[in-house]
Chain A
Amino acid sequence: MLKLHNMYKVYRTDEVETVALNGVNLEIAQGDFVAIMGPSGCGKSTLLNIIGMLDNPSDGDYFFFDENVAPYNESGRSHIRKQNIGFIFQSFNLIDELNVAENIELALLYHNMPASERKRRVADVMDRMGIAHRAGHMPGQLSGGQQQRVAVARAVVGDQPLILADEPTGNLDSVHGQEVMELLRSLNKEGTTIVMVTHSPSHADYAHRTVNLFDGHIVTENTRAA
């Protein structure tokens, strides 16, 4: 599905140069569930952002379905992103002014889809996630776990084949964290590829494969039997 080849990301300010990714090579197949782990500052989120095409690499190639997207500008990346990638963030990133249904619908808003189709899909996904009874609630009225469910619903409503989750359980207690992980596992079972950054070894265990990063390098990769 995607392949990173000799990927570098360097942050430069006037005086300091920080190498966040230092020649990373990584391949992820369709249907994979990959956990990325490592200490703070090792480049996990940077890697995820580049995979998610939210950021562009300083050097290296990024093949997404055999297409090298590394040189693309923001509008090119945006086009591929909206068709293929759903995101789940640690801080949920729900829009406070929109209710649950509208937040989920946001993911379809830029897809040139008729309103009736959008409504149908939103209703479907809310049923699946068990949040249909919260459709009219505003994010502020929900618990952290419920908010993350909405975020997951938003990530999957567009039927994107790849979901990137940046510490999806980081702001949740263990019970809600567990719930979210179960959700991701079931999505993966339905065929969605998932790449997740996490600090929690127990949550990493949900993945087929764990990639350990250190100072911008991939140091180990462990594969688990599915």
Chain B
Amino acid sequence: MFWNNVKIALRNLRKNKVFALVNILGLALGLTIYVFGGLLVKYESTHDMFFENAPNTYTIGSIAAPDLDVGVDRFNATFTAVGPIIEAELQDVRKVARTVAAGYLLSVGDKSFYEGVNFSDTALLEIFDFTYIYGDATALQDPSGLVLTESSAIKYFGRTDVVNETITFDNEFDFHVTGVIEDVPLNSHFSSSVIADSGLGFIAPITGLNRMRDWDLAGNWRNLSIGNMTYVLLPESLDEQWLTTQIDAIYERAVPDEQKKVLAGLTVSPLQRANLAVWDMIGMPVIAVVSLLSFLVLLVACVNYTNLATAQSLGRSREVGMRKTMGASQMQLLAQFLIESLVIASLAMIVAIAALELVIPLFNNVANKSLTLDYLKTLPWLVLTTVLVGLIAGMYPAWLITRASPIDALRDLARKGKKGARMRAVMIGAQFAISAFMLAIVSIVFMQNEKVKESSYVFPRSEIYTMDRLFVEGIRDRLDTLKYELEAIPNVSTVSFSSQVPYEQNNSQRSVSLKPGDEAGQVNLHTMDMSPDFLKTYDIPLLAGRGLDRNISQDIEKEDSTTINVLINELAVTNLQFGTPNDAINQRFYRLDDDGNSTEYIVVGVVPTQNIVGLFNEVKPWMFAYDTSALRIGSIRIEGGNIMDTVEEIEAAWKRVVPEYPLQGRFLDEVFDDVYNILKYMNMALAGFAFIALALASVGLFGLAAFMAAQRTKEIGMRKVLGASTSQIARLLVWQFSMPVLWALAIALPAAYFASTTYLNFFAERIESPVLVLIVAGALAVTLAWSTVAGHAIRIARSNPIMALRYE
């Protein structure tokens, strides 16, 4: 009986090739997305599991207090002072290790590259069992030791047996190789594919940082960088709950009160989640969203299948009647139809797997991931998915067609009547609701991203070429020469230096007050140091006063300065209650340093409030000073000419002035893209989901329109005989589908509105009103639905009436 049913299923597919193709491909598309989403979610949420200690390893994170004003709520990183406190206070933990990420110019002979180096406590190698090609877990005990990954070793030496070889940091400090490890697999938090330029290439002892920068081994409470990780390894007997309790207590007891203003708490998360930290940080449940969307796409595909299968199965009413007449029970017939549905689901799954085999390598290539479809491990899940999809999608049509009495079935009443019409309308509505929901969300996210992009054009970002790492001593001393040489290039208009450039997510703040030491009246100002030409480079106008001047000594901040001239922006004018920009000129405010010494700031100029950090951040009150020791990055304004030629000339000028360091340059556009790309790719992924859902819904609608038009052929014929025009008939058919689609919109659009506010809340500067966007998205969905149905309706309406009447 089973094989008999399979045979009939296959013959039915052969007989209705178009229906079969639409059914199988639709379901296959849904399954491809669903399985891919599932694999991706699994991949992203099971990083680092190949480390033996992974189940007992935790990372310490921070909850940002509102005062921190950085636009994110939590980091999976904390101050470097926390690690040693945990080690000292919690005797029961097995190991604690910190890593501090820092960039250096690494050189071997004439090979030099800027690299990110992880400076770590020695315990890092005991927590993570890297695979050693040379050396072992003691490799960081030597203060000048260095562990390389296989690729780093090959990059510098062309081989891996490089123990005892020397690598020089910033042309000054020698480290010698004490270990070579295999490259860490891509599915590790050490190789995040979200944060640009991450990846584990070099591990140096944290004591090395002390040697080079006089870095305090006890850590500090000043710098909170997302590259600074703190790992804790617990014994088997202790768990996350225990560690959380202990860490909460440490927060209360050991974190200085001053720090509590910016650090609202410490968090504990399993190592497995470290990879998702970026998403946790910006507060977007990306993994949950991917799961939900891939499930919704599958749901649309299932509803699509159900709809088409229902329409199609009604054509088999006589067969059901005949089988019932022969004594088949409803259960037997249900089994028959469900087996058919399972056959289709299985075929769809085979197509989906073939598609995945093509898509996954492409995706891995583009996204730098190592996703695999491991058949052995995923087989139970794939089989279960196939069976569930087959049963759930096939249940309704099977039930509908088999429940008729034998005589009704033989008379084919089901096809002629309105059986299941309401259910079909509900399904069409559900499909369109999901698609319109996705379309609306995608539109809102798109518009918001466009707004972010548009706002960023306040700075001429494609005309500015930046040069990083100017703080290195060998470079800093030559900035004036560099500026002179660069400004001599024909298309370079100005060159300036600063502590940060727009769109960099740096966050340096000072608390100031109108009276020295007035803690109650403190105002936080974001601070940037810049050379006087910065305003000109970035086209920032002055609203009042003057710019900074290198010839006025009080304009230049020095280590021992007690009075410094500064610029502030309009928002700072407001926050400091200075009145108008003009009123603010020559006003003073003060800051107390850790030792109680007061610095006086005098406002010499006011600039407009611009969103310097940009992207999702709100505008902030800024203070601009000119501290030459803080200048880290250069901005070269290029106007006119061939940009690439100019960049070549910039590189040549750099080589003349600073031959021993390579230029680390890129356009300001790329700085912006560092973060913007995350938003952009997310929207592209969302758009992909929405497009597929909408395409599926349209295919379903088209199939159903064909079926329902056929069902009403006789009526259409009669109407034509009685004088109805083509447009009247077409309207009749289109209207039939409009109701469920309109209902769908009534549900989907408000839902999309609420869902999209979650995204919008993430941004300080939002699109005016998502309502208009929602209406446009809704109109688009309706137009699509109408045009899908209308084509069909017009064809039917134009046919010769006798053809329609003969149909019966």
Residues of chain A having any CB pair with chain B under 8 Å: 49, 52, 54-55, 74-75, 78-79, 81-83, 87, 89, 93, 95-98, 102, 106-107, 109-111, 154
- In Å, the complex CA distance between A52 and B324 comes to 12
Which residues of B lie under 8 Å from residue A78 when comparing CB positions? Answer: 324, 327-329, 406
| Contact across chains for A97 and B327 when beta carbons are under 8 A apart | no
Q: For the complex, is B407 an interface residue (Cβ under 8 Å from A)?
A: yes
Partner of A98, one of B8, B329, B410: B8
Q: Give chain A nearest CB distance to B337 CB in angstroms.
A: 13
Give the 10 A-B CB pairs with smallest separation, nearest first: A82-B327, A97-B11, A110-B327, A54-B407, A54-B406, A55-B407, A110-B328, A93-B322, A95-B319, A107-B326
Most buried by B among A52, A75, A83, A97: A97
Is chain B's binding surface mostly helix, strand, loop or mixed? helix
| Contact across chains for A54 and B405 when beta carbons are under 8 A apart | yes
B3-38 contact mask (Cβ, 8 Å, vs A): 1 or 0: 010001001100100000000000000000000000
Which residues of A lie under 8 Å from residue B273 when comparing CB positions? Answer: none
Q: For the complex, is B218 an interface residue (Cβ under 8 Å from A)?
A: no
Q: Give chain B nearest CB distance to A151 CB in angstroms.
A: 10
Q: Give chain A nearest CB distance to B80 CB in angstroms.
A: 73
| Contact across chains for B410 and A89 when beta carbons are under 8 A apart | yes
Partner of B332, one of A49, A107, A110: A110
Which residues of B lie under 8 Å from residue A75 when comparing CB positions? Answer: 329-330
| Contact across chains for A109 and B407 when beta carbons are under 8 A apart | no
- In Å, the complex CA distance between A106 and B70 comes to 74
Which residues of B lie under 8 Å from residue A89 when comparing CB positions? Answer: 410
- In Å, the complex CA distance between A78 and B332 comes to 12
Q: For the complex, is B397 an interface residue (Cβ under 8 Å from A)?
A: no
| Contact across chains for B329 and A109 when beta carbons are under 8 A apart | no
A-B contact pairs, 15 of them (CB 8 A): A49-B407, A52-B325, A54-B324, A54-B405, A81-B325, A89-B410, A95-B319, A96-B15, A97-B11, A98-B8, A106-B326, A110-B327, A110-B328, A110-B329, A111-B327
Closest to A93 in B: B322
Q: A54-B405, A89-B410 are in contact. Are A81 and B323 (CB under 8 A)?
A: no
Most buried by B among A74, A93, A98, A109: A109
Q: For the complex, is B644 an interface residue (Cβ under 8 Å from A)?
A: no
- In Å, the complex CA distance between A98 and B318 comes to 14
| Contact across chains for A74 and B410 when beta carbons are under 8 A apart | no
- In Å, the complex CA distance between A95 and B317 comes to 11
Most buried by A among B4, B12, B319, B406: B406
Q: For the complex, is B321 an interface residue (Cβ under 8 Å from A)?
A: yes
| Contact across chains for A109 and B325 when beta carbons are under 8 A apart | no
Q: For the complex, is B520 an interface residue (Cβ under 8 Å from A)?
A: no
Q: Give chain A nearest CB distance to B336 CB in angstroms.
A: 10
Which residues of A lie under 8 Å from residue B323 when comparing CB positions? Answer: 106, 110
Q: For the complex, is B1 an interface residue (Cβ under 8 Å from A)?
A: yes
- In Å, the complex CA distance between A182 and B324 comes to 28
Q: Give chain B nearest CB distance to A169 CB in angstroms.
A: 18
B320-364 contact mask (Cβ, 8 Å, vs A): 1 or 0: 011111111110100000000000000000000000000000000
Closest to B408 in A: A55
Most buried by B among A96, A98, A102, A110: A110
Q: How many A-B residue pairs have CB under 8 A?
A: 61
- In Å, the complex CA distance between A86 and B324 comes to 12
Q: A74-B405, A97-B12, A109-B1 are in contact. Are A54 and B329 (CB under 8 A)?
A: no
- In Å, the complex CA distance between A100 and B594 comes to 98
Which residues of B lie under 8 Å from residue A54 when comparing CB positions? Answer: 324-325, 405-407, 410
Which residues of A lie under 8 Å from residue B405 when comparing CB positions? Answer: 54-55, 74
Q: Give chain B nearest CB distance to A81 CB in angstroms.
A: 6
Q: A54-B410, A110-B332 are in contact. Are A93 and B12 (CB under 8 A)?
A: no
Which residues of B lie under 8 Å from residue A109 when comparing CB positions? Answer: 1, 4, 326, 328
- In Å, the complex CA distance between A71 and B329 comes to 18
Closest to B16 in A: A97
Q: Give chain A nearest CB distance to B627 CB in angstroms.
A: 85
Closest to B331 in A: A75
Which residues of A lie under 8 Å from residue B15 when comparing CB positions? Answer: 96-97
- In Å, the complex CA distance between A95 and B409 comes to 13
Which residues of B lie under 8 Å from residue A98 when comparing CB positions? Answer: 8, 11
Closest to A96 in B: B15
Which residues of B lie under 8 Å from residue A52 when comparing CB positions? Answer: 325
Given A75-B329, A95-B319, A110-B328, 18 other A-B contacts at CB below 8 A? A54-B325, A54-B405, A54-B406, A54-B410, A55-B405, A74-B405, A75-B330, A78-B327, A78-B328, A78-B406, A87-B325, A93-B321, A97-B11, A97-B319, A98-B8, A102-B4, A106-B326, A110-B332
Closest to B409 in A: A54
Q: Give chain A nearest CB distance to B94 CB in angstroms.
A: 66
- In Å, the complex CA distance between A183 and B323 comes to 23
Q: Give chain A nearest CB distance to B314 CB in angstroms.
A: 15
B634-649 contact mask (Cβ, 8 Å, vs A): 1 or 0: 0000000000000000
Closest to A55 in B: B407
Which residues of B lie under 8 Å from residue A95 when comparing CB positions? Answer: 319, 322
Q: Give chain B nearest CB distance to A111 CB in angstroms.
A: 7
| Contact across chains for B318 and A93 when beta carbons are under 8 A apart | yes
Which residues of B lie under 8 Å from residue A97 when comparing CB positions? Answer: 8, 11-12, 15, 319
Q: Give chain A nearest CB distance to B411 CB in angstroms.
A: 10
Q: Give chain B nearest CB distance to A144 CB in angstroms.
A: 16
- In Å, the complex CA distance between A49 and B405 comes to 11
- In Å, the complex CA distance between A52 and B319 comes to 17
Which residues of A lie under 8 Å from residue B330 when comparing CB positions? Answer: 74-75
- In Å, the complex CA distance between A154 and B328 comes to 14
